[in-house]
Structure 1
Amino acid sequence: MTEQRYSINEFIEETKQEDKEQGLFELETPRFLEVNVNGDVWAKAGSMVSYRGNIKFVREGILEHGIGKLFKKAFTGEGTSLMKASGCGKLYLADNGKKISILNLNNESIFVNGNNLLAFESELNWDIKLMKRVAGMLAGGLFNVKMGGVGMVAITTHYEPLTLLVSPNNPVFTDPNATVAWSGNLQPEFVTDISFKTFLGRGSGESIQMKFEGDGFVVVQPYEETYFTQPSSS
Structure 2
Amino acid sequence: MQSPLFAFTEQQSQERYAIQNPQMLRIHLEGHDDVLARKGAMVAYQGLIEFDGEYQSGQQQRARANTGEGLDPMRCSGQGTIYLANLAQYIHIVDIDQQGLVVDSSYVLALDSVLHTESIAVDSQYGISGSGKYQLNISGSGKVALMTSGQPLMMQVTPDKYVNCDADAIVGWSKSLRVQMQAQTSSSNVRRRRGNTGEGWELSFMGSGFVLVQPSEVLPPQNVVMQGMAAQYGMGQQGARGQNRGNVWE
TM-score, normalised via structure 1 length: 0.82
Residue 16 of structure 1 pairs with residue 30 of structure 2:
no
The aligned counterpart of 1:34 is 26
Q: How does 1:152-171 map to 2 (within 5 A)?
A: 152-171=143-162
Aligned length: 213
Within 2, Cα distance between the matches of 1:229 and 1:21? 39
Amino acid in structure 1 at the alignment position of 2:37: A
Partner residue, 1:228: 242
Measured against aligned partners, the alpha-carbon deviations of 1:102-125 in whole angstroms (never above 9, x if no partner) come to: 112233311111111111111222
- Matched letter for residue 21 of structure 2: T
Aligned to 1:118: 109
Where structure 1 has 5 or more consecutive residues not aligned to the other structure, the ranges are 1-6, 202-206
Amino acid at match of 1:18: Q
Report if the CA contact (8 A) 1:45-1:80 is conserved. no
Q: 1:37-76 maps to which residues of 2 (within 5 A)?
A: 37-38=29-30, 39=32, 40-63=34-57, 67-76=58-67
Q: Quick one: distance in 2 between partners of 1:135 and 1:86?
A: 41
Deviation at 1:127, TM superposition (A): 1.7
Instruction: Compute the displacement of 1:164 (Å).
Output: 1.2
Q: How far apart, in 1, do the equivalents of 2:59 and 2:120 lie?
A: 11
Q: Is 1:95 matched with 2:109?
A: no
CA RMSD of aligned residues (A): 2.3
Superposed displacement of residue 173, structure 1? 0.8
Compared CA separation, residues 230 and 167, structure 1 to 2 (3 A):
closer
Picking from 169, 175, 198, the partner of 1:178 is: 169
TM-score, structure 2 as length reference: 0.77
Q: Indicate which of 208, 221, 233 corresponds to 2:201.
A: 208
CA distance in 1, matches of 2:119, 2:101: 12
Are the structure 2 counterparts of residues 143 and 20 from structure 1 closer, same or farther at C-alpha, using a change threshold of 3 Å? same
Change (3 A) 1:37 1:68: same
Pair 1:25-2:22 in alignment: no
2:59 match: secondary structure: helix
Number of the residue aligned with 2:73: 82
User: Hey, what does 1:105 align to over in structure 2?
Assistant: 96
Preserved contact between residue 108 and residue 150 of structure 1 (Cα < 8 Å): no
| Alpha-carbon spacing, 1:175–1:56, altered in 2? closer, same or farther (3 Å) | same
Structure 1 residues 169 and 10: alpha-carbon distance in aligned structure 2, compared to 1, 3 A threshold = closer
Note if 1:198 corresponds to 2:196: yes
The Cα offsets for residues 109-154 of structure 1, whole Å up to 9 and x where unpaired, read as 111111111111112222222334654733xx65322122221111
Amino acid at match of 1:124: L
Q: Which amino acid aligns with 1:223?
A: S
Q: Which amino acid aligns with 1:76?
A: T
| 1:145-195 residue CA offsets vs partner (Å, 9 max, x unmatched) | 212222111111111111111122322111011001101111311111223
Task: Indicate how the Cα distance of structure 1 residues 136 and 147 shifts in structure 2: closer, same or farther if over 3 A, else same.
Answer: closer
Q: Which residue of 1 aligns with 2:228?
A: none
Name the CA distance, whole Å, in 1 between partners of 2:71 and 2:115.
18
What SS does the corresponding residue of 1:8 show, helix, strand or coil?
Answer: coil
